[in-house]
Amino acid sequence: MVDQNASALADFDPEAPLGFGEDYVEYVPPIEKPEDYDEPAAPVAEAPAPERIEATFRGMPGNEKLLLHVIDYCREERDSTDVHDEVSRFVGTGVCTYAPEVVCANLVRAGALAMVAEQDADEAVEEAAEEAEEAEDAIAEAGAAAAVDADEPAGADGAAESSEVVEAVGAPPAFSYRATADGLAVVDAQDPEGDRLRFLEEGERYLPVYRLVLEACGREEGATKKDIDTLVDHHELCREPRRYSGFFVKGLEGIDAIAFDGAWKTTEVGRDLLAGAAFAEAE
């Protein structure tokens, strides 16, 4: 064995070029195509609108009330700008990770809203061409008038008219949103009164804590998370099982009893609940 190794080392040339010989051919195993390889892909069936709407609500947790409000707001056809402004108004000082345009686009893809163009694309192109031609004529006429009376400065009306022409030519196609039947079915299926009754029944054990939170949020300045933490953290009902302030805030917000406006504040719904029989019996 030693002699064979020594012989191999004696024949080794460290300066010889590395690589394969000229007659080396790399072996590539044949790849068989499946029988349907060249056939066009079958179209994927789109899920029904109710399923897409449900998936959209699940995919935007914490924004369910916003989505419902937007759909309900669009029961009548609304200009897209008005809808986007309404989204911003509804969110207010709260937190929403979606821009108004994204909220509406998601509802359109889900089939809860429909986009309604004020005119079709061909009409828009023809109208834009006509307006461009009119704008050129207006500029030519303005130049001729300036040549006739160069001493007279251009008036404010002329500047405004020119601005309007430019704005009309360059404006994007306008469109509106309108709620679909499937979208309105989701809104109309909501039962806020029933949800509140079920909430009070299922959370009967914690009604004394809910009362404390509602009363704290009922102050003029509202209540901060720290204020609610102080009420909840050492309450005997929250020891076993352990409950934190978020449990009570989420529950009350879910039935519209409190809302965030720089601080947590009791709403009219919350005040009505406090004055109702459920909390009277919990004293």
DSSP β-bridge partners for residue 259? 265
Q: Quick one: tokens of 188?
A: 């109309």
pLDDT at residue 177 tops 80 = yes
CB burial readout 178-189, b (16+ within 10 A) else e: ebbebbeebbee
pLDDT band, residue 171 (cuts 50/70/90): low
How much is the mean pLDDT over the chain?
Answer: 81
DSSP state of 154: P
Distance, in Å, from the CA atom of 232 to the CA atom of 247, rounded to the nearest integer, reads 10
pLDDT band, residue 31 (cuts 50/70/90): confident
Check: CB of residue 214 under 8 Å from CB of residue 270: yes
Check: CB of residue 80 under 8 Å from CB of residue 100: no
Pairing label, strands 258-260, 175-179: unpaired
Check: CB of residue 87 under 8 Å from CB of residue 100: yes
Cα angle value 188/191/197 (rounded, 5°): 175
Under CATH, which architecture does the 192-281 domain have? Orthogonal Bundle (1.10)
Distance, in Å, from the CA atom of 167 to the CA atom of 149, rounded to the nearest integer, reads 27
Residues 87-127 have pLDDT tens digits of 999 887 667 789 999 999 999 999 999 999 865 545 655 66
CA distances from 108 to 21, 183, 192 (A): 64, 10, 25
Question: What residues does each domain of the chain span?
Answer: 49-117, 123-142+159-171, 192-281
Per-residue model confidence (pLDDT) at position 165: 47
Q: Quick one: tokens of 71?
A: 């759909």
Q: CA Rg, the chain, in Å? A: 35
Residues 156-167 have pLDDT tens digits of 455 555 455 444
Residues 209-226 have pLDDT tens digits of 999 999 999 999 999 999
For 134, list phi and psi in degrees, rounded to 5. Answer: -65, -35
pLDDT > 90: percent of the chain? 51
Q: What is the identity of the amino acid at 171?
A: A
Check: CB of residue 94 under 8 Å from CB of residue 87: no
pTM above 0.95, yes or no: no
